[in-house]
Each structure stands twice: as structure tokens, then as C-alpha cells.
């Protein structure tokens, strides 16, 4: 496989774009391939190489690079007529109505432009609504490039995980381990009156794909209710991917007070959204006191693309298709990996999947889970599945990034380039694509 064009483009990019990329995760050693175009379930790079795409732009592309015709025509007409006005339009009302109709926690929505903006505003909303400062987050969770959640360290020694953030900011953030009810109960016992919100992804999609164990989300709900804190689900990644149109909160049956969205909701265009109960959402300006604004908020092209994306999914077998392929891939991977050493764990749900290069617990267990890890306590391999961010941090991240990813790419399969980000199946994928992908995993591993 030749990559001369990509290498030349990367050289040019390095002179004018810091690190040669516009989002850190896109940097790949020694250089990323540059994409020329998408084609259904594939991307084609600048050198003409084709890859089956399981990155799907890190989640937004539910239809791969082949969106339904009605999406295309909506994008074209809204961009030709506008593209935007700085005044309200009907399409943003329609998308907000759609979310209110389908997502259990949502009565009202404020649209912004990215997942990061959505979580920044949700944190401000929770603080403004409760009059409290502390935010509980999960270690290994990700909520975008924002000050409150870019933290690391243990209780009492929490500090920013990025340069450029004042150390004091981290004092208001309390990281805990996902799936550990005792730890967060203890945190509420100590700080309950100061906690504005628990902010968590319902499925940790930025640390492989870690599902909540039975009862964990319910515990979060109870603790928040008992202590007057808000439960905020960050469904930027899981929204309209896990649990279909009801999102992960519908799948797990736990309703947060506030939900953040992005990715799929924009139909391939930049979007973020904060949704929740009217009483809370009305605290945003201009109806309330929590400042929120944006030149591009509710951009008509993004609203139209998102609405058509979701409407199509409501009327066709989209989730049935991608989830079925997800099961096929996870169970095929589980079969392949049962034979391989060192140990691996297949994780995922719905149309998300990942192979983690490690396994918890003793190595002698040969029982297989039925189809990848769904973190069910009755699964014979329950103990082996990663339960929190630390379990994935302990994986062979180097081998994934330096060897495995490149060899999969040479087999024509484009996976997320590090151990942490989930991979995504789109409606453009076919059973034959999944089987070819399984062959590639088998060959490479």
C-alpha cells in the first residue's frame, strides 16, 4: 500500500497546523492517511487506497458515507437558501420536537455546535440550577475539550490533565471509578451538599466500550435524588446509537435530569445539544440566568441534516440492521479471540465494538460469552470484562497503536487508531463487510 500523497500532505500540514491535525486523536505515528472521499461503507485515501470504515467520523455517520436521499436534498436546499440567519427558523423547533418525542429525559433542547459545547453548558446549567460547584465524573470518561472535566488524580489530589487550566478549577471536580457504587456513595456521604451533578456517559465509549453493570446507573439516580444533585448523561456518543431513538437512557431504563448530545444529532454536520426537563432547561438565558449563546447555534443545515437522519431511522430498519451486524461482529470476534494468546476481550453493544488487548481476572477461564461482552452478571466471563477506565488503561495500548492498527489498515480496515475510542458500524455496512473484517482480525491477530 502506497501512502506518498498522504505523507506529502502531512508534511505540508505540519508547517501550518499544530501537529498536522485539527483534532488530537487524528494524529497517527508516523503519519495519518489523508482522506480524499467517502464511498458507502468505505473511505478512499489520497493515494487511492480503500478502507472499510469503522471510524465513521467517531460516531456521527450512522449511514456511513451514503446518507439517504432525503438527507442529501435537505442539506442542499437549506444550504442554498440560507445557509443561516441569526434568527429563529422552523427546522430547529422540529428537531427539538423530535427529541422531546423520543428521548425519555427531554422536554426542551438548546442546540449548540459540538459535544464539548454541550457538556460545558450542561455543567454550567447544573451549577446554576443547584447553586453548587462540585461535579462528579468517571475516570476514563470523556466530555470533550473542557476545563471542568479534563482532570486526573485521586481524591484530594485532583489536578488538570492539560496544560493551560488553572489548578483551582480541578478542585471542583471529583473523579470516581465507573461501576463502583461504594466509591460514589462515599463521595456523596462526604460532599453531598456541594455536588451540583454527576456527569457520566451511560456507556464509557471513550475507554473502549464499557457498559454499566446491573444497578449502577440506578444507584447514580438514587444518590442524585437523595442529595438534590442533577444526573447528567453525556449521550454525545451513545445518543441515537445505543438504544435506538430512545438512546442509552431508554435502553437502560434510567432517566437523567439533563442529557448532552452531538454526533448523530447533526447528521454529519457540527452540532451539540443539551436536553432535559423544562424546569431545568428554562434556567438558560434568556428565560433564566445561566448564560448560553452562539452564532451558529441551531444552524439550519445541521438541523435539517439531523432531522432527516433521525426521521429516516424512525421509518426504516436502521437500528435493526446496524445492531444485528454489531452482534455478528462481536460474536465472530469472540470466537476468533478465544483461540488467541495473549488475552483479549471483546466489548460493545448495539453498533459499537472494540477489542481490548487485556482481560481481567485469571486466564484459565475458557467459557465464552455468547456475543461479546454485555456486562451481564450471568455471563460466564463477566469477571473478565473491563469495568472501568483503569481496566482499559492497563491494556497493551502500545501494541494496539503501533502494530495492530497499522496491520488492520493494510488489510483495508479502518479502525479507531488507539485502544480507547470505540468503533462504529453504519447502515452502509453489509454482512459481507463484517465477514471480511473478521477475516482481517483473524489474519492480523
**What minimum distance in Å lies between the beta carbon of 116 and ligand PMP?**
3
Catalytic residue (one of 234, 257, 350, 391): 234
Taking CB under 6 A as the rule, does residue 42 contact ligand PMP?
no
CB nearer to ligand PMP: give 144 or 256: 144
* Catalytic-residue membership of 134: no
Taking CB under 6 A as the rule, does residue 419 contact ligand PMP?
no
Taking CB under 6 A as the rule, does residue 143 contact ligand PMP?
yes
Give me 223's grid cell.
444518590
* Catalytic-residue membership of 142: yes
What are residue 342's phi and psi, to 5 degrees? -65, -175
* Cross-strand partners of 137: 175, 199
Q: Which of 51, 54, 78, 142 binds ligand PMP (CB under 6 A)?
A: 142
Q: Which stretch binds ligand PMP (CB under 6 A): 3-11, 201-209, 301-309, 361-369?
A: 201-209
Give me 254's grid cell.
434510567
CB nearer to ligand PMP: give 142 or 427: 142
**What minimum distance in Å lies between the beta carbon of 294 and ligand PMP?**
13
Taking CB under 6 A as the rule, does residue 115 contact ligand PMP?
yes
Is omega for the bond preceding 83 within 30 degrees of 0, making it cis? yes
Q: Which of 201, 257, 327, 350 binds ligand PMP (CB under 6 A)?
A: 201
Nearest C-alpha neighbor of 425 from the set 349, 346, 338 = 349
Taking CB under 6 A as the rule, does residue 262 contact ligand PMP?
yes
What are residue 256's phi and psi, to 5 degrees? -80, 175
Taking CB under 6 A as the rule, does residue 140 contact ligand PMP?
no
Helix axes 318-338, 300-315, angle to 10 degrees: 80
Taking CB under 6 A as the rule, does residue 252 contact ligand PMP?
no
Catalytic residue (one of 58, 216, 263, 344): 263
| Three-class SS state of 112 | strand
**What minimum distance in Å lies between the beta carbon of 263 and ligand PMP?**
7
Vertex 268 angle, CA 204 and 274, to 5°: 55
CB nearer to ligand PMP: give 91 or 274: 274
Burial of 207 (0-12, 13-18, 19+ CB in 10 A): buried
**DSSP output for 364-418:** T-----SSSB---TTSTTGGGS--SHHHHHTS-HHHIIIIIHHHHHHTTEE--SS
Taking CB under 6 A as the rule, does residue 144 contact ligand PMP?
yes
Taking CB under 6 A as the rule, does residue 116 contact ligand PMP?
yes
Give me 387's grid cell.
469495568
Distance, CA of 421 to CA of 405 (rounded, Å): 12
Contact 98, 307 (CB under 8 A): yes
Q: Which of 74, 236, 318, 379 binds ligand PMP (CB under 6 A)?
A: 236
Taking CB under 6 A as the rule, does residue 206 contact ligand PMP?
yes
Taking CB under 6 A as the rule, does residue 266 contact ligand PMP?
no
Q: Which of 128, 205, 244, 256 binds ligand PMP (CB under 6 A)?
A: 205
**What minimum distance in Å lies between the beta carbon of 260 and ligand PMP?**
7
Taking CB under 6 A as the rule, does residue 110 contact ligand PMP?
no
Taking CB under 6 A as the rule, does residue 148 contact ligand PMP?
no
Taking CB under 6 A as the rule, does residue 234 contact ligand PMP?
yes
Q: Which of 58, 98, 178, 441 binds ligand PMP (CB under 6 A)?
A: 58
**DSSP output for 272-336:** EEEEE-HHHHTTBTTTSSB----TTTT-HHHHHHHHHHHHHHHHSSHHHHHHHHHHHHHHHHHHH
* Catalytic-residue membership of 354: no
Nearest C-alpha neighbor of 172 from the set 218, 109, 126 = 126
Residues near ligand PMP, by CB under 6 A: 58, 114-116, 119, 142-144, 201, 205-206, 234, 236-237, 262
Residue positions annotated with a catalytic role: 142, 234, 263
Amino acid at each position: 500500500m502506497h501512502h506518498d500523497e498522504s505523507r506529502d500532505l502531512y508534511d505540508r500540514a505540519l508547517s501550518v497546523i499544530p501537529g498536522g491535525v485539527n483534532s488530537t486523536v487524528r494524529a497517527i505515528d508516523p503519519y495519518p492517511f489523508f482522506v480524499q472521499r467517502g464511498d458507502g461503507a468505505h473511505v478512499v485515501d489520497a493515494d487511492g487506497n480503500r478502507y472499510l470504515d469503522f471510524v465513521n467520523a467517531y460516531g456521527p455517520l450512522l449511514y456511513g458515507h451514503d446518507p439517504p436521499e432525503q438527507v442529501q436534498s435537505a442539506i442542499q436546499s437549506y444550504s442554498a437558501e440560507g445557509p443561516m440567519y441569526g434568527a429563529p427558523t422552523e427546522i430547529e423547533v422540529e428537531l427539538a420536537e423530535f427529541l422531546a418525542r423520543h428521548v425519555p429525559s427531554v422536554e426542551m433542547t438548546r442546540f449548540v455546535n459540538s459535544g464539548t459545547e454541550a457538556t460545558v453548558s450542561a455543567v454550567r446549567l447544573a451549577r446554576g440550577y443547584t447553586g453548587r460547584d462540585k461535579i462528579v465524573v468517571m475516570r476514563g470518561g470523556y466530555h470533550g475539550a473542557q476545563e471542568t472535566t479534563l482532570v486526573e488524580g485521586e481524591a484530594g489530589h485532583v489536578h488538570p490533565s492539560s496544560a493551560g487550566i488553572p489548578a483551582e478549577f480541578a478542585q471542583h471536580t471529583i473523579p470516581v471509578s465507573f461501576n463502583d457504587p461504594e466509591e460514589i456513595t462515599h463521595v456523596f456521604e462526604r460532599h453531598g451538599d456541594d455536588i451540583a451533578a454527576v456527569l457520566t456517559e451511560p456507556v464509557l465509549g471513550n475507554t473502549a466500550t464499557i457498559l454499566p453493570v446491573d444497578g449502577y446507573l440506578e444507584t447514580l439516580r438514587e444518590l442524585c435524588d437523595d442529595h438534590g444533585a442533577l444526573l447528567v448523561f453525556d449521550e454525545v456518543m451513545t445518543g441515537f446509537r445505543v438504544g435506538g431513538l430512545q438512546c442509552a437512557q431508554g435502553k437502560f431504563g434510567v432517566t437523567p435530569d439533563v442529557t448532552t448530545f452531538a454526533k448523530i444529532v447533526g447528521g454529519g454536520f457540527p452540532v451539540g445539544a443539551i436536553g432535559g426537563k423544562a424546569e431545568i432547561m428554562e434556567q438558560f438565558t434568556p428565560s433564566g440566568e445561566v448564560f448560553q449563546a452562539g452564532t451558529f447555534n441551531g444552524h439550519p443545515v445541521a438541523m435539517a441534516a439531523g432531522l432527516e437522519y433521525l426521521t429516516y431511522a424512525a421509518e426504516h430498519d436502521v437500528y435493526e440492521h446496524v445492531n444485528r451486524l454489531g452482534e455478528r461482529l462481536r460474536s465472530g470476534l469472540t470466537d476468533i479471540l478465544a483461540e488467541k494468546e495473549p488475552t483479549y476481550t471483546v466489548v460493545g453493544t448495539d453498533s459499537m465494538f472494540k477489542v481490548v488487548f487485556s482481560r481481567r481476572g485469571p486466564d484459565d477461564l475458557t467459557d465464552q460469552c455468547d456475543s461479546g461482552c454485555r456486562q451481564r452478571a450471568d455471563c460466564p466471563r463477566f469477571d473478565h470484562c473491563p469495568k472501568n477506565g483503569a481496566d482499559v488503561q492497563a491494556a497493551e495500548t502500545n501494541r494496539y497503536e503501533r502494530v495492530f492498527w497499522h496491520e488492520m489498515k493494510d488489510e483495508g480496515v479502518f479502525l479507531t487508531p488507539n485502544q480507547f475510542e470505540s468503533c462504529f458500524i453504519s447502515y452502509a455496512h453489509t454482512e459481507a463487510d463484517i465477514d471480511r473484517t473478521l477475516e482481517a482480525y483473524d489474519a492480523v491477530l
